[in-house]
Structure 1
Amino acid sequence: MFDDLPGAGRVFDFDEIADHLVEQGEQCSPSELHGCLTGLMSAGAVAEPAAGLAGLNQALNLDLHGELAECMLELYSVTLAALLDEEFDFHPLLPDDDTDLDLRVLALGAWCRGFMAGYARATVSAGSGDASLPGDSAEILRDIANIAQAGVDEELSEDESEGNYVEIVEYLRFATLNIFMDSQGRAGASDAGTPSLH
């Protein structure tokens, strides 16, 4: 994913980020970090990567530093570029397809929990927590909260489970883009004088 973006291979290396988290004694998943950063941006957080890192630390009660913090700054920039890309190049950071499905589903749930934490943090910081959401955003947020509780249905065949996983990830991709675009439209309509993420 994001293979055509400069530096994306290093930034989006799931296992490398996981190793850094273990080294720093953090229990969260790389997917949760990426979900949180994406949630911050999707709620209209500012474009500066340093602000994104601060929001990530606050939302997930972390203290990321060193090489991992640098990686998160790059991840923020690459993710923002993907969200703004007209080719819809955004993808959630999840384990590779050769990873056991149970672990991929756990990571998917962690991504969604991170997204909700980041989104909530940004809306509280902006004082817009009670504002009505545009378009389908409210329903999409409920869907993301439900996906956070996802598990593998043992009664389904492996192919059916894989198919369901792929469908959910694809839905999540476009649902996230929808929320991001809604928030951009809302920010532009409410305060044309405030610099946007563009």
Structure 2
Amino acid sequence: MFDDLPGAGRVFDFDEIADHLVEQGEQCSPSELHGCLTGLMAAGVVGEPAAGLAGLNQALNLDLHGELAEIMLELYAVTLAALEDEEFDFHPLLPDDDTELDLRVLALGNWCRGFMAGYARATASAGSGDASLPGDSAEILRDIAAIAQAGVDEELPEDESEGNYTEIVEYLRFAALNVYMDTQGRAAADGGGSPSLH
């Protein structure tokens, strides 16, 4: 994942990041971290990776350090490149497809919760939490909040559940891109720069 993007020096391994989180005594998932970073950027915080790491720590009440902090700095830079990529090569960081569907759906919900936390942190920090949202962003944010509560319907056949999961992941890919582009468009129209975290 992310290995074809400019500046991607590594493939981000879900399990490796999860191991680092356990070592640091943190309860969140790699998907939640990536969702949070994406939410910060989608809200308009586009700057140095160090600002993204600080925003991540603040939004999720973490203290990431050492090798994990370095990985998050790389992930921030690569995610930003993906959001700005003309080929729409952005993908949420989720477990591999050979992971049990229940665990993938749980990770998907974690990604959405992280996204909402990052978005809320950035807009609150910029003082724009009450501003009207551009484009389709308000509806997309409601969808992401709803997906955060998703679970597997045990009544559905496995192939249908897999299909639903794939559709939701694809929706989230473009939802994050849309919110990011809406925010960048509004910033350009306002003539202002990106909000910063305090």
Normalised-by-shorter TM-score class: over 0.9
| 1:189 counterpart residue number | 189
Give, in whole Å, the separation in 1 of the partners of 2:191 and 2:71.
32
Give, in whole Å, the separation in 2 of the partners of 1:141 and 1:195.
20
2:44 alignment partner, SS class: coil
Q: Equivalent residues in 2 for 1:39-78 (5 A)? A: 39-78=39-78
Residue 99 in structure 1 maps to residue 71 in structure 2: no
Residue 149 in structure 1 maps to residue 149 in structure 2: yes
Give, in whole Å, the separation in 2 of the partners of 1:2 and 1:37.
15
| 1:109 counterpart residue number | 109
1:63-86 CA distance string (max 9 Å, x none) = 000000010000000000000000
1:91-136 CA distance string (max 9 Å, x none) = 0000000000000000000000000000000000111000000111
**What stretches of structure 1 move > 6 A for 4+ residues in a row?**
none
Query: What letter is aligned with 2:142?
Result: R
Give, in whole Å, the separation in 1 of the partners of 2:47 and 2:112.
21
| 1:8 counterpart residue number | 10
1:62 alignment partner, SS class: coil
1:8 alignment partner, SS class: coil
Give, in whole Å, the separation in 2 of the partners of 1:126 and 1:46.
12
Quickly say closer, same or farther: Cα 1:58–1:183, change in 2 above 3 A.
same
Give, in whole Å, the separation in 2 of the partners of 1:105 and 1:76.
23
| 1:130 counterpart residue number | 130
Give, in whole Å, the separation in 2 of the partners of 1:80 and 1:71.
14
CA contact (8 A) 1:8 1:78 kept: no
CA contact (8 A) 1:49 1:77 kept: yes
Quickly say closer, same or farther: Cα 1:21–1:195, change in 2 above 3 A.
closer
Alpha-carbon shift at residue 3 of structure 1 (Å): 2.3
Give, in whole Å, the separation in 2 of the partners of 1:103 and 1:128.
35
Give, in whole Å, the separation in 2 of the partners of 1:184 and 1:150.
29
1:164-189 CA distance string (max 9 Å, x none) = 00000000000110000000001111
Q: TM-score, normalization: structure 1?
A: 0.95
1:152 alignment partner, SS class: coil
Query: What letter is aligned with 2:66?
Result: G
**CA RMSD, 1 decimal:** 1.1
Query: What letter is aligned with 2:175?
Result: A
| 1:90 counterpart residue number | 90
CA contact (8 A) 2:44 2:194 kept: no
Q: Equivalent residues in 2 for 1:155-166 (5 A)? A: 155-166=155-166
Query: What letter is aligned with 1:144?
Result: I
Give, in whole Å, the separation in 2 of the partners of 1:60 and 1:186.
26
